[in-house]
């Protein structure tokens, strides 16, 4: 069984990867604005930056800063790298395999009765 990726697994990072994937924001396709990613994932700018740093250090995310007329007008664009895309897809496959695992041994699971 493919194992869960410890870099992608924390919920905020999984949300980041899922959002970038959903927007087709990966190498050779699209990029997503930092502000839009923050809004979509419901992460503050500081929390998003922290989690992006982990993903970037793992080689899963790249960023590009579009320089504006002032620093406040700069736009930060993000995308999954090929390695990040593959890590996300493997992670989702591992989660799906956990959900689809064979039924447990007989008598290991029972329905909950309303009369408990």
pLDDT at 68: 74
Class of residue 53 by CB neighbours under 10 A (exposed 0-12, middle 13-18, buried 19+)? exposed
Q: Answer yes or no: is pLDDT of 1 > 60.
A: no
The total number of structural domains in the chain stands at: 1
Q: Which domain holds residue 73?
A: 11-94
Strand pairing partners for 79?
62
Residue 28 forms part of a structural domain: yes
- Token reading at 15: 């949300």
Give the domain CATH number at 70: 1.10.10.10
Query: Using CA atoms, how far apart are residues 22 and 52, in angstroms rounded to an integer?
Result: 17
Q: How confident is the model over 82-110, as pLDDT tens digits?
A: 999 999 999 999 998 888 775 555 566 66
Residue 103 forms part of a structural domain: no
20, 79 in Cβ contact below 8 A? yes
In this structure, what DSSP letter does residue 25 have?
-
User: Taken in order 12, 15, 20, 23, is the CA torsion positive or negative?
Assistant: negative
Q: Residue 111: which pLDDT band, with cuts at 50, 70 and 90? A: low
Q: How confident is the model over 32-67, as pLDDT tens digits?
A: 999 999 999 999 999 999 999 999 999 999 999 888
């Amino acid at each position: 069984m493919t194992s869960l990726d410890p870099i992608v697994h924390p919920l905020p990072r999984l949300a980041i990867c899922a959002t970038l994937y959903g927007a087709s924001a990966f190498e050779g396709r699209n990029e997503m604005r930092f502000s839009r990613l923050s809004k979509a994932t419901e992460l503050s700018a500081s929390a998003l930056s922290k989690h992006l740093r982990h993903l970037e250090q793992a080689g899963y995310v790249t960023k590009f800063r579009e320089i504006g007329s002032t620093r406040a007008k700069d736009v930060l664009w993000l995308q999954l790298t090929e390695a990040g895309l593959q890590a996300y897809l493997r992670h989702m496959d591992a989660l799906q395999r956990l959900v689809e695992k064979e039924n447990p041994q007989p008598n290991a699971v029972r329905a909950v009765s309303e009369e408990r």
